Amino acid sequence: MAEMECGLQKIIFLPAAFPPHKSPTRLTSFQHRAEMLRLALEGRTGYEYSFIEAELPPPSYTIDTLRVLKAAWGKDANLFFLIGIDAFLEIRTWKRYDELLRTVSFVVSEREGDFIDRKHNLAQKLNYKQEDHLWQSRDGKQEVCFLRQPPLSISSSAIREAVRTGVAIWDLVPATVHQYIVHHGLYCTAIE
């Protein structure tokens, strides 16, 4: 896990209030997503959540959120951004991605698939030197670390699809989250 491989003191989950890449009409409300996150992390040491994005003007751009967090925690706070390989490979489409790469170190969770060429091309375009699982910047950006341990083969879209099609999810989410989903009738249609 990221906390062990990178020596992180804690992991803070930040759900996007108004993600710029998703249609608000197809997105489960922030209140529901925030409550499911709160339930999922209840009683788990080393894991926290922040709903700061709900207080920021829409849309929720990562660079804006990080500026607020850096101001709150101090400029010397050492921040790491945990992200999946699919999203990281699209980093050049993010708002002020170059500033983002200078602000935080990225920790990338890989999954099965052939990403070698895409990673190599991205490293070149971003001016990083690849050394095994670590990318070192040649021009002042923070490091990028690719986790060695593969993630669990589970995704939020797979969970939503399972609920929509009536497949049991007891083994995929905590019981409290499952109860919340059922109680509120979430994911019975094709909303994210």
Is residue 109, in this structure, part of any structural domain at all?
Answer: yes
- The pLDDT value recorded for residue 4 is 60
Is pLDDT at 61 greater than 90 in this prediction?
yes
Separate counts of helices (H) and strands (E) for the chain: 8, 7
* Per-residue pLDDT at 3: 56
Whether residue 144 contacts residue 128, with contact meaning beta carbons closer than 8 Å, is answered with yes
Higher pLDDT, 188 or 52: 52
In a domain, 186, yes or no: no
Residue 181 placed within a domain: no
Is 138 within a domain? Answer: yes
- Helix (H/G/I), strand (E/B), else coil: 136: strand
Is position 156 within any domain?
Answer: no
- How many structural domains compose the chain? 1
> Model pTM?
0.86
- 102 inside domain: yes
Containing domain of residue 70, as a range? 2-150
Residue 40 covered by a domain: yes
Tell me whether residue 174 is in a domain: no
Q: Is a pLDDT exceeding 60 seen at residue 192?
A: no
- Which parts of 32-149 are beta strand (E)? 47-49, 80-84, 105-109, 128-131, 134-137, 144-146
Q: What is the pLDDT of residues 89-108, one digit of tens each?
A: 999 999 999 999 999 999 99
Residue 49 scores a pLDDT above 70: yes
Q: Which of 4-18, 31-45, 119-133 has the lowest mean pLDDT?
A: 4-18
**85: CATH:** 3.40.50.620
